[in-house]
Amino acid sequence: MTKKLSEIKPGQSARITAFSSEELFLKLMEMGCVPGEIVTVNQIAPLKDPISITVSGYQLSLRLNEADQVLVEEC
């Protein structure tokens, strides 16, 4: 079942399936976020912006509007 990365709860992992923005895809691809990669949501800020994820062995913070554009499948 496809969800947005912003809908994944802290502690859960998901596999990136697609991006809804070509501009965001290029930006995140340079940081190791490519389709097929496993991401783990570490923390979500109290107002849900930003969120902290682990991808490719390092931590990355994403704004909520960026996480809304990353489509994932729960693992």
Give the residue from 38, 45, 34 showing the smallest Cα distance to 6: 45
Answer whether 53's CB lies under 8 Å from 42's CB: yes
The pTM score is 0.88
- The pLDDT tens digits along the chain (75 residues) read 899 999 999 999 999 999 998 888 888 888 888 999 999 999 999 988 999 999 988 999 999 999 999 999 998
- Give the pLDDT score at 1: 85
Domain 2-74 has CATH 2.30.30.90: yes
Instruction: Please give the backbone phi and psi of residue 43, each rounded to the nearest 5 degrees, phi first.
Output: -145, 155
- Asked if 16 and 25 count as a contact pair (C-beta separation under 8 A), the reply is no
Cα–chain-centroid distance for residue 70? 6
